[in-house]
Amino acid sequence: MRSPAILYGTAWKKADTAALVSTAIQLGFRGIDTACQPRHYNEAGVGAGVLACLKGGLARAELFVQTKFTPVSGQDPATIPYDRNAPLARQVAQSLAVSLQNLQTDYVDSLILHSPLATAEDTLLVWRAFEQLVDSGAVRQLGISNCYRLEELTALWNAARIKPAAIQNRFHAATRYDREIRAFCAMRQMDYQSFWTLTANPQLLAHATLLALASKHGRTPAQILFRYLTQSGIVPLSGTRSKVHMREDLEIFDFELGEGERAALATAL
Interval 184-236: pLDDT, tens: 999 999 999 999 999 999 999 999 999 999 999 999 999 999 999 999 999 99
Q: Are 212 and 219 in contact (CB under 8 A)?
A: no
Give the model's pLDDT for residue 1. 64
- Is residue 59 within 8 Å of residue 68, measured between CB atoms? no
Nearest 5 degrees, angle CA 228-CA 245-CA 260? 15
Indicate if the pLDDT at residue 178 is higher than 90. Answer: yes
- Walk me through the domains of the chain, giving residue ranges and CATH numbers: 7-196 (3.20.20.100)
User: Mean pLDDT throughout 137-144?
Assistant: 98
Q: What is the mean pLDDT of residues 11-32?
A: 98
What confidence score (pLDDT) does residue 262 get?
A: 97
Residues 49-105: pLDDT tens digits?
999 999 999 999 999 999 999 999 999 999 999 999 999 999 999 999 999 999 999
User: Looking at residues 120-145, what average pLDDT do you find?
Assistant: 98
| pLDDT tens digit sequence for 148-173 | 999 999 999 999 999 999 999 999 99
Q: Is the whole-model pTM more than 0.85?
A: yes
Q: pLDDT class for 267, splitting at 50, 70, 90?
A: confident
Nearest alpha-carbon partner for 196 in 238, 248, 163: 238
Q: How far apart are CA 238 and CA 100, in angstroms?
A: 23
3-state secondary structure of 138: coil
| pLDDT, position 269 | 83
Residue 23 corresponds to which amino acid? T
3-state secondary structure of 145: strand
The residues, any chain, with a CB within 8 Å of residue 263's CB and separated by 6 or more, are none
Q: Work out the burial of residue 223: count CB atoms within 10 Å of its CB; fewer than 13 is exposed, 13-18 middle, 19 or more buried.
A: buried
Residue 179 scores a pLDDT above 80 = yes
